[in-house]
Structure 1
Amino acid sequence: MSSLKVRVDQQKLDRAAYVLKCVAHPVRISIIDLLEQRERLTVSELQAVLQIEQSLLSHHLTNMRDKGIVDTQREGKKMHYFLTDTTITNIIDCIKGCKTF
């Protein structure tokens, strides 16, 4: 048993828990999935696919932006959202491959 140890340093574990708490919602996971497919999307484009109220979508996007998961880039009057780190899309692969869901 002495060779058993935690293989990830505490700082990475803390960041992972912080991010996972933020994305632990079906809408937020869906946003990540959509941004993986299209790289940059506007609120209108996300809303058209997700079929939820704009105010609710904006709430989720603001939360994800505050946590550093997404960021924005203005293009004229439109605001485009994108993932700050595309490795978060590995969550989608884990979900698809998990047999308990």
Structure 2
Amino acid sequence: MSTLKVRVDKKKLERAAYILKCVAHPVRISIIDLLEQRERLTVSEIQQVLEIEQSLLSHHLTNMRDKGIVDTQREGKRVYYFLTDTTITSIISCINGCRVF
């Protein structure tokens, strides 16, 4: 019988759990999906697609920025949000391909 072991480094598991806790909300997963499609978007552009209150959207974006999932770039009066690491978008493919959902 083969010996079982955890195949992922403990630090990677801790980081994954941290990120997954942060994005464990339909609005946040939707934001990730939108930013995968456009690379960067303003709050207004995201709000228009998601059809939610601007204050609620700002709350989610602030949380995601504080956790290092998104960041901002200012151009004049506009503030653009973008993903800090686009590998997080693989979560969308996983959700689409999973039979549990």
Work out the CA distance in 2 between the residues paired with 1:98 and 1:52. 27
Q: Deviations over 1:33-67 (max 9, x none)?
A: 00000000000000000000000000000000000
Q: Does 1:65 align with 2:65?
A: yes
Work out the CA distance in 2 between the residues paired with 1:45 and 1:76. 16
Runs ≥4 residues deviating over 6 A: none
* Structure 2: runs of 5 or more not aligned: none
Q: Deviations over 1:41-99 (max 9, x none)?
A: 00000000000000000000000000000000001001000000000000000000001
- The size of the alignment, in residue pairs, is 101
- Which residue number corresponds to residue 47 of structure 2? 47
- Which residue number corresponds to residue 20 of structure 2? 20
Q: What's the C-alpha RMSD, in Å, of the aligned pairs?
A: 0.8
- Which residue number corresponds to residue 81 of structure 1? 81
* Structure 1: runs of 5 or more not aligned: none
Give the alignment's TM-score, normalised by structure 1: 0.98
% identical aligned pairs = 84
Work out the CA distance in 2 between the residues paired with 1:15 and 1:75. 31
- 1:21 maps to a residue whose letter is K
Q: Does 1:91 align with 2:79?
A: no
**Alpha-carbon offset, residue 2 of structure 1:** 5.1
